[in-house]
Amino acid sequence: MITSGFKSMGWGHGNPRAILHIDGDGFFAACEVALNPKLRGKPVVTGAERGIASAMTYEAKARGVKRGMPLHEIRRVCPEAIILPANYETYAIFSTRMNSIVRRYTEAVEEYGIDECFAEITGLRRPLKMTYEEIGRTIKRELQNELGITFSLGLAPNKVLAKLGSKWQKPDGFTYIRAQGLSLGNPKVSPCAPLNPSQNDDCLLSGYIRRQSSVHSVHSDNSPEDCLLETSKRQSSNETTLGYYLAHTPCEKVWGIGPQTAALLAERGVMTALDFAHKDETWVATHLTKPHIEIWRELRGEFVLPLETGKKQHYDSIQKTKTFTPPSNDQNFLLSELSKNCENACAKARHYKLFAKKISFFLKTQQFRYRGIEITLPSYTSLPNELMRLIRAEFPKVYRTNEIYRASGVTLYGLTDTPPAQQDLFGASITQAKASKVFERVDALAERYGNHTVTLGSSLSALRPNLDVGRPGSVPRPVRMRFGAGGRPTSKVVAFQTKNPASYHLVIPLMGNVY
């Protein structure tokens, strides 16, 4: 693996950076289509468990479906829409694989969201024997080939411009804002005028990649005015400046500028990113805060915002929640949902080598009322089987037979990485040590194959609908099997396998002895 970074290649701060922003197109819905190719080309919407659209394919967007649209409205505007519950565990696996593919080329990766990341490829042209654009396109191609979904990429000298670039042409786009000779220019265009690339099929506005095979993006070492547009036939210089691109970007579309700030800017006549970039620093400092000054500087081509590549190391608490659909009153199912949340929280705690002294859990009703309870643990732990015994004992204090529930959650508190030594009663520490070894194996399998590859039996009801990615009509077939030698558990476990070979779960029964 080649490590990115201008320092390792002898680059100084005066040299331009090369920053990628990688953004999944309709990520949640695209994951569903990738796992079920029969959905390809159809209007697919996720969010059934929340009652509103959380993501949709571009076929659904073309029929008028929008993010946050209620289900009844979706069915009205697009009767043929396929509405699925979101399966966040599956999407998290896709996200992990996405970041792993990007890290084949650079270690400097900021995992910004489940469907997007930043990556710095500064200084990698020589070791990889590729231009920055070729590196970006290679990463894009590998992501799409291996994950089966499309991504839009922006390549620029900083994060703000890279993020603007990734939004410039969706879906499946690649926008290269050149790092050399960035110039605001003075384009003679109407602010926020709609782009019309069809006026010239050879024009690739800011890397607006035309899908005609005859058009190709080319490198150029021309004058600074030519640095932004990648075209096979250069146009006039007033259309090849950074200003031309910014003039077509409303302030509210700039990363980090929210509705209130955009409204404040509009009151002062600042409507576009170009208007904002043309303001002097004194004006920006007078009317806005430090984060907006940093955005202003990056819009002008500076590198200000570093990639945050380190993972968070300190947690005061760890919470895992899940909304499920349809809502349920079934005690066993609700306990199963709590068990899955508990497993996820404990897995995260073990990943950071943390132990909890307190735990709380809640149920959320259909009317969005919360019922919960906090439990002080007899000893520090990060083992879900121990916590589930306590949750099960306290569950009747929270559950109401006349209520319908739509979500559950588990939170770990009092976290520490150095738990005090516990007095051993009746061999409890020995039992816990054995259980810890089991979960070391569980974590290793999860690292290799994904979350819940091996899971508690009490989580089965919550996981069973997801074995075939949340689609109805999939009844898993139980198979009996044993672990082999090599320190693996030898007790019987239950395996559920659907017709989808990727959906395979081993289930450890929630018993006192699972070794």
* Ranges under pLDDT 70 in the chain: 1-15, 179-241, 312-313, 421-430, 464-515
Which phi-psi region, left, alpha or beta, contains residue 168 (left: φ > 0; alpha: ψ -120 to 50)?
A: alpha
Going by CATH, does the domain composed of 318-508 fall within 1.10.1740.10? no
User: What type of residue sits at position 108?
Assistant: A
User: What type of residue sits at position 455?
Assistant: T
Identify the pLDDT of residue 138: 97
Length of the chain: 515
What are the structure tokens assigned to 341, written together? Answer: 């949340």
Residue pLDDT, tens place only, 104-116: 999 999 999 899 9
Which of 473, 479, 511 shows the shortest CA–CA distance to 496?
A: 479
- Could you tell me if 217 and 230 are in contact, meaning their C-beta atoms sit under 8 angstroms apart? yes
Residue pLDDT, tens place only, 496-513: 333 333 333 333 333 232
- N-terminal to C-terminal alpha carbon distance within the chain: 38
User: What type of residue sits at position 304?
Assistant: V
User: Which ranges of 88-210 would DSSP assign to H, the alpha helix?
Assistant: 88-102, 125-128, 132-147, 159-168
Residue pLDDT, tens place only, 241-274: 677 778 889 999 999 999 999 999 999 999 999 9
User: What type of residue sits at position 392?
Assistant: R
Whole-number Å distance between alpha carbons of 160 and 5: 19
How many Cβ atoms are within 10 Å of 487's Cβ, its own excluded? 11
> Domain map of the chain by residue range?
258-304, 318-508
Identify the pLDDT of residue 188: 45
Q: Is the N-terminal amide bond of 509 cis, ω within 30° of 0?
A: no
Q: Is the N-terminal amide bond of 306 cis, ω within 30° of 0?
A: no
What are the structure tokens assigned to 25, written together? Answer: 């197109």
Whole-number Å distance between alpha carbons of 504 and 487: 22
Q: Which residue has the tokens 């690739």?
A: 204
Whole-number Å distance between alpha carbons of 387 and 343: 9
User: Which ranges of 220-367 would DSSP assign to H, the alpha helix?
Assistant: 242-247, 259-267, 273-278, 281-287, 290-299, 331-351
Q: Is the N-terminal amide bond of 171 cis, ω within 30° of 0?
A: yes
Identify the pLDDT of residue 461: 83
Strand ranges inside 121-160, DSSP E = 151-156
Whole-number Å distance between alpha carbons of 158 and 4: 15
Whole-number Å distance between alpha carbons of 136 and 120: 10
- Could you tell me if 249 and 193 are in contact, meaning their C-beta atoms sit under 8 angstroms apart? no
Whole-number Å distance between alpha carbons of 151 and 24: 4
